[in-house]
Structure 1
């Protein structure tokens, strides 16, 4: 098999031709309609984005290039990125070539560390991550080549160059923020010969005598690597990049979106709730006592974090992947035990309440709990770990968008008065 760039070169002409044929024959075909309710409720359920890297099936859950995520749980970050970009898993030679390429690009400019160190001590980790992206924008290959008159056909190659640089550097920056800014400890430099996941685990500096933390990071990165093209952070990156802003601007924007309480902070809220349970019951509660407490919470109007999904109608396989791992390596840890019991008692109560279309636990209900169990107890860093994993999917999607000439995203807006007039005319 060819390396990543050559594989893309081989595939892109067919992708362009497939889209050309679709548009030529079916450009006026209606794919999705939109109700007034959807217009006011975040366009939920409207098919409005084309994304070939991943898809969430209501029954199977997350599929990465058509492969169930549980079948990819032992793959490396480099394999996942190659798969996201091309639709194929790399052979050993292509995989090693990608790993070596990323290793060569992993050096973080000193000015980035100086900028991070200069910020006030209470600066949020996601602010630092976002600022680091914008600070490095001056090095964008896309920007340089665009200013030199790069043709549209070559936009994807320049985007790939930026993507490889960002993917190589982001784990170093993320781990450096954790060690240097949060823990006030020395940074662990990346090790030669190690891949994205192994180095990320190493640089975080968590004691790992049995290798369990490294295995957890592998699973964490895979399950957070991609999740369709229309969640808030990914869609933000796509909109920004559609204007031909480079990857640095686009990914910084995605990080800003991910930082919102309704998006990337969900796993923090879930851990807070579990810790609240442990404090209330002075330890791990019995199932019956927790059942009564959860029902009281629901009756009072409180939302139980870590449950439900906009698309899935079954248990989230990403949750399953991390839960089964936790069951193997830390079954007696109080936080994990509380999550386990919560996962047993909450779904029937959510069904009884009748509001949730999906009463099952999701990825946010377990990911933060395992981070806490492994000793990463600084909740404000959890979103940075999510962002470090998500970089694989965002970069792949934006490379593909530039390869197939995706235009600027520019829907129309209407006023509330226009809608009032519209519905009165319909009636």
Structure 2
């Protein structure tokens, strides 16, 4: 029996007429007709603001990312001199308040002390680091003497354990050598990650600071993003936190979610290869036009790093990374490349208005890949680093939902098959 042949003969059996979504008032992708997300939950953890709705009319506003009531720009500005911005952000998301300086230092020590990658199996073969990390997270379940404990305190401690160990899981598989502890116990997570990737401490204060900032910006993005919602759906079943975080990692692996920064980086490499470093407006508008007309790069009709489901006027994460990239490009002698990206951003937005009639903005992925590249970080680490940072938000949302929403998440589908 040739199962593939049978399936191909009947592939139309699952094809659904797109008009049926409107007929039965089904919100495909959990999106309303105006592009806004269907409201499915409440959260006190973070907010993503890109528009306001008054009297049923959607109005675009400057983008804001808010963690526990604090704008991300304010948090980035008030990082401690020790480059513990990520630790400060994780504490804020999970515990609901900013730590005192003493609490921040103690929390950092707790993460360093708690991390454990002694059971990592670097011999396990997988082509994707996120799959490897998923497996390592699930293995923690087997090592836990009481993995299914449903008290919030135990779930929190397990979440901290996952958060602390995640960088070591990732870097052990990346380096193909077991890294069971942080090499710089007195330094922040970001600086330790940079040290392990480089294999030395030959990096500048600016480089360490920028990686710390990137982790802060990736830490959370509201409860509606795909990986966080995946985590929340799993949490509603009452299953263990290891399964929930592993599922979120699986979601992040998808190229339409966490993998966009790699696509953006690859797109820029293609531009540099064919057109070189240039700020010529005509050339850059031509490139943007070719991308939208499926005549360049991957022929998908997309300009990666441009556009967002919520932000339209500006993405605050993009603005912060752009400013950081400029400083780092100046330090690295890469200002020509930075100016090309900056000029292409304008050209892309121009063509989006002209061809697609869409008013939009550059998103977090537009400059983040370039920032990672300036730091000497390979593309294979872009999304895993994103997932490592986002774990802090996943833990926070997991705890919030286990405390407040004990209903099993179970939406409905409309049957449109044959009778």
TM-score (norm 2): 0.81
2:160 matched to which residue of 1? 164
Deviations 1:220-261 (A, max 9, x none): 101100011121111111111211211111111111111111
The CA deviation at 1:391 is 0.6
2:185 matched to which residue of 1? 192
For 1:144 and 1:340, locate their aligned partners in 2 and report how far apart those are by CA, in whole Å: 49
2:3 matched to which residue of 1? none
1:318 matched to which residue of 2? 317
Mapped contact 1:172–1:203 kept (Cα < 8 A): no
**1:77-92 matches, cutoff 5 A:** 77-92=86-101
The CA deviation at 1:72 is 1.3
Identify if the C-alpha distance between structure 1 residues 283 and 176 changes in structure 2 by more than 3 Å, giving closer, same or farther.
Answer: same
Mapped contact 2:252–2:259 kept (Cα < 8 A): yes
Residue 173 of structure 2 aligns to a residue whose secondary structure is helix
1:229 matched to which residue of 2? 223
Mapped contact 1:141–1:161 kept (Cα < 8 A): no
For 1:322 and 1:95, locate their aligned partners in 2 and report how far apart those are by CA, in whole Å: 24
1:220 matched to which residue of 2? 214
Deviations 1:87-115 (A, max 9, x none): 32011232222222222211222x22xx2
Matched, 1:282 2:282: no
Matched, 1:309 2:302: no
Identify if the C-alpha distance between structure 1 residues 370 and 335 changes in structure 2 by more than 3 Å, giving closer, same or farther.
Answer: farther
Mapped contact 1:180–1:187 kept (Cα < 8 A): no
For 1:102 and 1:413, locate their aligned partners in 2 and report how far apart those are by CA, in whole Å: 43
For 2:381 and 2:24, locate their aligned partners in 1 and report how far apart those are by CA, in whole Å: 36
The CA deviation at 1:296 is 2.7
Residue 325 of structure 2 aligns to a residue whose secondary structure is helix
Identify if the C-alpha distance between structure 1 residues 287 and 242 changes in structure 2 by more than 3 Å, giving closer, same or farther.
Answer: same
1:343 matched to which residue of 2? 345
Identify if the C-alpha distance between structure 1 residues 143 and 346 changes in structure 2 by more than 3 Å, giving closer, same or farther.
Answer: same
The CA deviation at 1:394 is 0.5
For 1:230 and 1:104, locate their aligned partners in 2 and report how far apart those are by CA, in whole Å: 32
The CA deviation at 1:78 is 2.2
The CA deviation at 1:383 is 0.8
Identify if the C-alpha distance between structure 1 residues 83 and 363 changes in structure 2 by more than 3 Å, giving closer, same or farther.
Answer: same
For 1:390 and 1:97, locate their aligned partners in 2 and report how far apart those are by CA, in whole Å: 21
Identify if the C-alpha distance between structure 1 residues 37 and 413 changes in structure 2 by more than 3 Å, giving closer, same or farther.
Answer: closer
Matched, 1:61 2:60: no
Deviations 1:152-210 (A, max 9, x none): xxx211110101111111112222233337xxx98984322223233222222276432
TM-score (norm 1): 0.80
Identify if the C-alpha distance between structure 1 residues 335 and 180 changes in structure 2 by more than 3 Å, giving closer, same or farther.
Answer: farther
The CA deviation at 1:408 is 2.1
The CA deviation at 1:357 is 4.5
Residue 143 of structure 1 aligns to a residue whose secondary structure is coil
Mapped contact 2:236–2:407 kept (Cα < 8 A): yes
Mapped contact 1:142–1:246 kept (Cα < 8 A): no
2:369 matched to which residue of 1? 368
The CA deviation at 1:303 is 0.8
